[in-house]
Amino acid sequence: MISTTRGPGLVFPKGGWENDETVQEAAIREAVEEAGVQGDIMDCLGHYFFKSKTLQDELSPEGLSKAAMFPLLVKEELEFWPEQNNRRRSWHSIPEATELCRHQWMKAALEEGFSSWFAEQMISNQKKENHLISPDSSADQE
């Protein structure tokens, strides 16, 4: 998580994406720019809506925005990164991060998104284990 540039609390790196990149590439770029971390992006946790003061205009007076949340398996913490003078990065467990998180929609991503992600990982791992221990049917035919 990273400190905000405005006010208390912690947030996840976020931002828009350029025309020449995918939403996944944008997430990776934002992680480098704002948190100074690189790694492997995982499957999307889900989509979350939030109000953006910078996007309020005549087309969207509420400034409603939609964010896609992606976990990143961090493989490298950079010593230097673009926003290091404006932000501090910190590492927390999911319960700690939920407490420290500034925005309710990010808390929802932590609670709902990671819960379902962990459940999927457990099921996937269990299927792999069952497949590995199941007897090879061709060996029984000898």
**Residues whose CB is less than 8 angstroms from the CB of residue 138 and which lie 6 or more positions away in sequence, other chains included:** none
Residue bearing tokens 């990164």: 81
What spatial distance separates the first Cα and last Cα of the chain, rounded to whole Å? 57
Tokens of 46: 């889900």
pLDDT at 137: 47
DSSP string covering 3-56 = E-SSSSSEE-------TTS-HHHHHHHHIIIII-EEEEE----EEEEEE-GGG-
Question: Do 73 and 39 touch, CB atoms closer than 8 A?
Answer: yes
Query: What is the arithmetic mean of pLDDT over 9-16?
Result: 90
Domain ranges of the chain: 2-130
Query: What is the arithmetic mean of pLDDT over 14-27?
Result: 90
What's the predicted TM-score (pTM) here? Answer: 0.75
The CATH code of the domain at 2-130 is 3.90.79.10
Query: What is the arithmetic mean of pLDDT over 40-51?
Result: 88
**Span 63-118, pLDDT tens digits:** 678 889 999 999 999 999 999 999 999 999 888 999 999 999 899 888 887 777 77
Q: Centre a 10 Å sphere on the Cβ of residue 64 and count the other Cβ atoms it contains.
A: 12
Question: Do 7 and 53 touch, CB atoms closer than 8 A?
Answer: no
